[in-house]
């Protein structure tokens, strides 16, 4: 029978759904048709496959060729289906055996010469297959350039190939000499390297605040004049976070794999994303005709740094509200929707006024009060309410710039953070920032003095219920860093102090 069926995968957000590539050769006038909701890249595979087969020395069948990518209602994109289509044509024409196809999944783009080019989403496809039922797990034949990232999924059987001919030889010799070799990585994973906190001189109050933020996964707004070190401090934040777990590393790498820019050398390195303030809403949260992840998802399990926060378009900033609360982002389109993880730690920085020198002892700020308010009002109240900590970063005195740095290194701070983080997971199974309202009442209730202090502050500053809960979460983290069993007045006072960098509105 002139029919061959191979397996591949199509990307739909974070999901890599299984696709059957069915190739049928029939009598009639020569024709080559691809059905199954293919986009332009998939339809163009007809020309790539024809040239690749001919340049590899095969005779292209002069028959009616129909390729069906099932299920038919799932959109198919990219050149990942070139390899299974080419193999299906050869198997249906009887040029290679097809008895072993059921043991493998295939993905790879073909050049006109028959070489295999890398595809995006290799890790996401392997991860999806490995997370499925054990009966559905198969070996994966991929381009060589994708082998290192796909093999990061523990237990996955990856068979890299450089060309179509190598894959054909693998099946032609399946019963005799070995064909493709299973990929085994010989590179030992190197520990991630981050900029060190000991490079920062002074700013002890801010360093302590960022330690608290790292320990509880709290979002932070740094407010200070130009050159105070806001960007320098933020760039060192990933080095304070606890080491990534295997699950976190896989999920983060799978998101980055969807863009085709994942680097296996950065395995278990927490991402640090710093988009420019001219970025659009789609660039920040993701989108497109075929939805792809944006900066909030690429920063998953890492840090999203927004420098010059008021310079972002206000409508762009508003899209951060939902992922800050839920840790996920859903992109809906008429034909499909995609769900991406977005559990990032937000670090934002801004000047206190348009000139940046409000409150500086030099008195060189001449901004009018209404100008300052208009500048700060570029950040909406609901968004500001969702930022746990708002820290003032003072200008650096000249004498400190010439002094030797004497602060703790990132490794020392990270050790304290790891201990506090472990306390949270032992107590509640998650970081303090992710506590629900009921869990806050259970784990973050302060003593009577702390409760009275928080109530007075709320009445004086007109804080919302969200601000009340976020202060309690930060207070719980301060207590965890100090090894305290409960939350007392000092912990609450510290959390309140970490939320008053901007003038109250």
Task: Give CATH for domain 3-172.
Answer: 3.30.230.10
Sign of CA dihedral 496, 498, 501, 505: negative
Q: Can you read off the two tokens belonging to residue 144?
A: 């060589």
Task: Give CATH for domain 197-427.
Answer: 3.40.50.300
Q: What pLDDT, on the 0 to 100 scale, is given for residue 448?
A: 94
Long-range contacts of 53-60 (CB under 8 A, 24+ apart): 53/86, 53/89, 53/90, 53/114, 53/164, 55/112, 55/113, 55/114, 56/113, 56/114, 56/163, 56/164, 56/165, 56/168, 57/165, 58/90, 58/95, 60/89
- H or E segment to which residue 369 belongs: helix 369-376
Q: How far apart (Å, rounded) are the C-alpha atoms in residues 443 and 431?
A: 12
Q: Which residue has the tokens 């760039």?
A: 235
Question: Alpha helices of 144-266 — where are they, by DSSP H?
Answer: 147-150, 164-172, 204-216, 230-235, 246-257
Q: What pLDDT, on the 0 to 100 scale, is given for residue 456?
A: 94
Q: What pLDDT, on the 0 to 100 scale, is given for residue 407?
A: 77
Q: Can you read off the two tokens belonging to residue 224?
A: 């200070």
List, in order, residues 6 or more apart from 47 with CB less than 8 Å away: none
Residue of 321, 300, 481 whose CA lies nearest to 387:
321
Sign of CA dihedral 266, 267, 271, 276: positive
DSSP secondary structure string for all residues of 244-302: PPHHHHHHHHHHHHTTT---GGGTTPPPEE---TT--HHHHHEETTTTEE-HHHHTTTS
Each of the 505 residues of the chain gets a pLDDT tens digit; together they read: 589 999 999 988 888 899 999 999 999 899 999 999 999 999 999 999 999 999 999 999 999 999 999 999 888 988 999 999 999 999 999 999 988 899 999 999 999 999 999 999 999 899 888 877 766 788 999 999 999 889 888 888 999 999 999 999 999 875 545 578 999 876 666 778 888 888 888 888 999 999 999 999 999 999 999 988 899 999 999 999 998 988 899 889 989 988 888 888 888 899 999 999 999 988 998 887 778 899 999 999 999 999 999 999 999 999 999 899 889 998 877 667 788 999 999 999 999 999 988 878 778 888 998 999 999 989 998 999 999 999 999 888 877 777 776 778 899 999 999 999 999 999 999 999 999 999 999 999 999 999 999 999 999 988 999 999 999 999 999 999 999 999 999 999 999 999 876 654 4
Q: What pLDDT, on the 0 to 100 scale, is given for residue 505?
A: 41
Task: Report whether 298 contacts 256 (CB < 8 A).
Answer: yes
Per DSSP, the three-state class of 117 is: strand
**Cα-based distances in Å from 409 to 209, 378, 417:** 15, 36, 13
Domain boundaries, the chain: 3-172, 197-427, 435-497
The alpha carbon torsion through 394, 210, 314, 307 (nearest 10 deg) reads 70
Q: How far apart (Å, rounded) are the C-alpha atoms in residues 38 and 73?
A: 10
């Amino acid at each position: 029978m002139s029919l061959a069926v191979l397996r591949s995968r199509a990307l739909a957000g974070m999901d890599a759904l299984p696709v059957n590539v069915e190739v049928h050769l029939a009598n009639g006038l020569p024709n080559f048709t691809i059905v199954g909701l293919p986009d332009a890249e998939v339809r163009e595979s007809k020309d790539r496959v024809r040239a690749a087969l001919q340049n590899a020395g095969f005779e292209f069948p002069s028959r009616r060729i129909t390729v069906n990518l099932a299920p038919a209602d799932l959109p198919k994109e990219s050149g990942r289906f070139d390899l299974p289509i080419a193999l299906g044509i050869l198997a249906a024409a009887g040029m290679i055996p097809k008895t072993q196809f059921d043991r493998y999944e295939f993905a790879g783009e073909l050049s006109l010469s028959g070489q295999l080019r890398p595809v995006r989403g290799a890790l996401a496809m392997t991860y999806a297959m490995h997370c499925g039922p054990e009966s559905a797990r198969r070996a994966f034949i991929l381009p060589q350039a994708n082998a290192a990232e796909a093999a990061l999924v523990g237990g996955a059987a990856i068979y890299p190939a450089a060309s179509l001919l190598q894959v054909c030889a693998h099946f032609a010799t399946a019963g005799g000499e070995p064909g493709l070799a299973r990929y085994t990585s010989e590179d030992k994973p190197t520990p991630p390297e981050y900029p060190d906190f000991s490079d920062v001189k002074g700013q002890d109050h801010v360093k302590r605040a960022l330690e608290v933020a790292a320990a509880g996964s709290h979002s932070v707004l740094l407010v200070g004049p130009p050159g105070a070190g806001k960007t320098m401090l933020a760039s060192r934040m990933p080095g304070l976070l606890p080491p990534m777990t295997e699950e976190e590393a896989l999920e983060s790498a799978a998101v980055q794999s969807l863009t085709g820019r994942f680097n296996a050398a950065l395995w278990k390195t927490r991402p640090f994303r710093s988009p420019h303030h001219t970025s659009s809403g789609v660039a920040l949260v993701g989108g497109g005709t075929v939805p792809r992840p944006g900066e909030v998802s690429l920063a998953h399990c890492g840090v999203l740094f927004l420098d010059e926060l008021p310079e972002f378009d206000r409508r762009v900033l508003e899209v951060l509200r939902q992922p800050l609360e839920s840790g996920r982002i859903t992109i809906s389109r008429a034909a499909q929707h995609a769900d991406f993880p977005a559990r990032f730690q937000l670090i934002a920085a801004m000047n206190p006024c348009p000139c940046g020198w409000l409150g500086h002892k030099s008195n060189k700020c001449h901004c009018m009060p209404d100008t300052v308010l208009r500048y700060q009002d570029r950040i909406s109240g609901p968004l500001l309410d969702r930022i746990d900590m708002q820290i003032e970063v003072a200008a650096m005195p000249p004498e400190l710039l010439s002094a030797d740095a004497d602060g703790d290194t990132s490794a020392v701070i990270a050790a304290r953070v790891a201990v506090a983080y472990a306390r949270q997971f032992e107590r509640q199974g998650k970081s303090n920032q992710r506590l629900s309202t009921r869990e806050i009442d259970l784990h973050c209730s302060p003593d009577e003095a702390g409760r009275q202090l928080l109530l007075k502050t709320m009445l004086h500053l007109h804080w919302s219920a969200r601000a009340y809960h976020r202060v309690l979460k930060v207070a719980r983290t301060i207590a965890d860093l100090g090894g305290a069993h409960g939350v007392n007045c000092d912990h609450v006072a510290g959390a309140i102090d970490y939320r008053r960098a901007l003038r109250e509105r």
